[in-house]
Structure 1
Amino acid sequence: MQLMKIDKTLYRSRLNIVIIACIASLAISSLAISQTLIFLLPDESGSHFHWNLLGVVVSSIALVAGLVKLKSHPKMREVAYVWDLKQALNLIYRKNKKLLAAAEQGNPDAMLALQFSYEGSRQLWQLDDNTITMSSLNAAQSQLDGWAQEYNVQLDIANYRSESLSAF
């Protein structure tokens, strides 16, 4: 995955549309399914919890399937990019301790993965207006820059490949 420049205003407006559409479709479809099941198969005791639960589960599955199908739509480009970026950063985060130890020893692949993680996190936090922890990110970046200078490693995130994480 490569980092892309994203228009924050466009991303936020499209994300809000996706969120509102998801909430509305989940509410409407789960109610429609559960009420249909209650009408067709009423329970003598008056408890319809299982039909309500089934309506929510079926609606959730349909919603996820719809989102996956719509992921490649041009209007979903920014939202899908952030979704993919979060998944890529999560893969790196799971191996963070090993990556930090290897980077400290001068491993260029570990340093490149950390550089991608820091730049991706910075972009993500700026898109979501989550700049509270930016100082800790800057400190980690300074530490990585020191290792890169010490071991004479050039960190170009265009060369980052997620497959390199399998070594850690």
Structure 2
Amino acid sequence: MQLINVNKVRYRRHLSWVIGICISGLAAGSLGISQLLIALFPDQSGSHFHWNLLGVIVSSVTIGWLLNKYRHHDFMTEVTYVWELKKTLNKINRKLPKLKAAAANGNLNAMLALQYCYSGSRLLWELDDNTIVMEELTIEQAKLDALMTQYKIILHVEDYNDSLLKEF
């Protein structure tokens, strides 16, 4: 997955719409389905927990299906890209200790994965205005830059792909 510049204003606006629609759909769908089921199949004891739960499950599955179906729609471009970037960064973060150890030993693929992780995290955190840990990211990037200088390596994040992680 390549890192691209995302229009922050469009991304935030579209993400807000998607979240709002999902919340509204979940609330309306859950209540509507559960009320319909309660009306059709009333319980003598007055407990309708199972119908309420079924309403939430059906609404959640429907929303997930709709999000997946429309993920390639133009409106969802930035939102889907950020979701995929988060998924990719999560794969790297699960292997971070092994990657850092291998990078310290001069492993090119580990350094490339770290470079991608740091660049992607910076992009993601700037989009979400999460600048609290940017200083830590700068420190980690400086450590990686020192390793790149030590091993005389130049890295390009465009060269990264998920298959590099299989080694770790």
Tell me the TM-score normalised to structure 2 length.
Answer: 0.99
Instruction: Provide Cα deviations, 1:8-33, integer angstroms capped at 9, x if missing partner.
Output: 11100000000100011111111111
Q: Structure 1 residue 3 and structure 2 residue 6: aligned? A: no
What is the 5 A alignment of 1:58-77?
58-77=58-77
Partner of 2:112: 112
What is the 5 A alignment of 1:16-31?
16-31=16-31
Residue type of the partner of 2:42? P
Deviation at 1:94, TM superposition (A): 0.4
Residue type of the partner of 1:16? S
What is the 5 A alignment of 1:82-97?
82-97=82-97
Residue type of the partner of 2:166? S
Partner of 2:121: 121
> What 5-or-longer segments of structure 1 have no aligned partner?
none
Identical columns (%): 53
Deviation at 1:154, TM superposition (A): 1.0
Q: Distance in 2 between matches of 1:34 and 1:58?
A: 10
What is the 5 A alignment of 1:131-142?
131-142=131-142
Aligned length: 168
Instruction: Provide Cα deviations, 1:135-165, integer angstroms capped at 9, x if missing partner.
Output: 0000000000000110011110010011010
CA RMSD of aligned residues (A): 0.5
Q: Distance in 1 between matches of 2:125 and 2:160?
A: 20
Partner of 1:143: 143
Residue type of the partner of 1:59? S
Tell me the TM-score normalised to structure 1 length.
Answer: 0.99
Q: Structure 1 residue 52 and structure 2 residue 52: aligned? A: yes
Secondary structure, in 3 states, of the residue corresponding to 2:137?
A: helix
Residue type of the partner of 1:157? V
* Shift >3 Å, 4+ stretches: none
Q: Distance in 2 between matches of 1:60 and 1:12?
A: 23
